[in-house]
Chains A and B, each alone.
Chain A
Amino acid sequence: EIVLTQSPGTLSLSPGERATLSCRASQSVSSNYLAWYQQKAGQAPRLLIYAASSRATGIPDRFSGSGSGTDFTLTIRRLEPEDFAVYYCQQYGRSPPFAFGQGTKLEIK
């Protein structure tokens, strides 16, 4: 069973800054089956990135994903006010459980 650990737990930045969020897996994620979601307060999660680096439809290009194996990163360049939310990584693929990380809260500094 793969365990995903996200860091930091909370990230305090200002609009216009660059955000770097980390997701580390306890074992290698096969075929880079790693997704990132954004969740705003009171809303359902929204897919941002799948297959570690592919942007979902309609997601601005300031969002990018990278990484492979056990270390993955979500980068948001030039933060916009609407980007402040909680972000989750998730592994998927051939074998459940399809675990989520515990989340990183991106807050306004």
Chain B
Amino acid sequence: ELQLLESGGGLVQPGGSLRLSCTASGFTFSDYAMNWVRQAPGKGLEWVSSIGGPGDDTQYADSVKGRFTISRDNSKNILHLQMNSLRADDTAVYYCAKDGHARNGIWDWFDPWGQGTLVTVSS
């Protein structure tokens, strides 16, 4: 069964750092691009970052560029999001999601999604 399990969320002070992880199972992890999407409390979905299957192509939303780093360990089937210089408006549930199709040059739809991990930035 295909499964994505996020971890690493919690309470952090403004300016602090946090590293999220997403452990994948049930598919050939290295074949698929992976993504992070966040949702602030009571708000809509916001795409955060994506990484290609081999890990050499990364994309970021302007709101997190220069502060967040996406990476992956294909030997362990784990996706990471390193979040630095955190701000109050980074408070959200962070979801990892698998690209729906394995193909080069196209970033695809997101399917499935993990259950999410809550990040709270507050003093």
Min CB–CB distance A70 → chain B (angstroms): 19
Q: Are A97 and B47 touching (Cβ within 8 A)?
A: yes
Mark out the residues of chain B between 32 and 62 whose CB falls within 8 Å of any chain A CB in the assembled complex: 35, 37, 44-47, 50, 59-62
Q: Which residues of A contact B (CB under 8 A)?
A: 33, 35, 37, 39, 44-47, 50-51, 56, 88, 90, 92-94, 96-103
Min CB–CB distance A61 → chain B (angstroms): 18
The size bracket of the interface on B is 20 to 34
Q: Are B106 and A56 touching (Cβ within 8 A)?
A: no
Min CB–CB distance B3 → chain A (angstroms): 12
Query: Which residue from chain B places its CB closest to the CB of A43 in the assembled complex?
Result: B115
Chain B facing A: main interface SS = strand
Cα(A100)–Cα(B112), bound, Å: 16
Cα(A33)–Cα(B109), bound, Å: 8
Contacts of A45 in B (CB 8 A): 37, 45, 95, 110, 113
Q: Are A56 and B111 touching (Cβ within 8 A)?
A: yes
Contacts of A90 in B (CB 8 A): 45, 47, 109-110
Q: Are B100 and A96 touching (Cβ within 8 A)?
A: no
Choice from A93, A100, A102 contacting B107 with Cβ under 8 Å: A93
Q: Are A88 and B111 touching (Cβ within 8 A)?
A: no
Q: Are B110 and A35 touching (Cβ within 8 A)?
A: yes
Min CB–CB distance A103 → chain B (angstroms): 5
Q: Which 7 A-B pairs have the closest CB atoms?
A: A47-B111, A35-B109, A44-B113, A50-B109, A96-B59, A100-B45, A98-B47
Query: Which residue from chain A places its CB closest to the CB of B113 in the assembled complex?
Result: A44
Cα(A96)–Cα(B64), bound, Å: 13
Min CB–CB distance A65 → chain B (angstroms): 12
Cα(A101)–Cα(B45), bound, Å: 8
In this assembly, does B114 line the interface, its C-beta being within 8 Å of a C-beta of chain A? yes
Contacts of B37 in A (CB 8 A): 45, 100
A93-B107, A97-B61 in contact; A46/B46 too (CB < 8 A)?
Answer: no
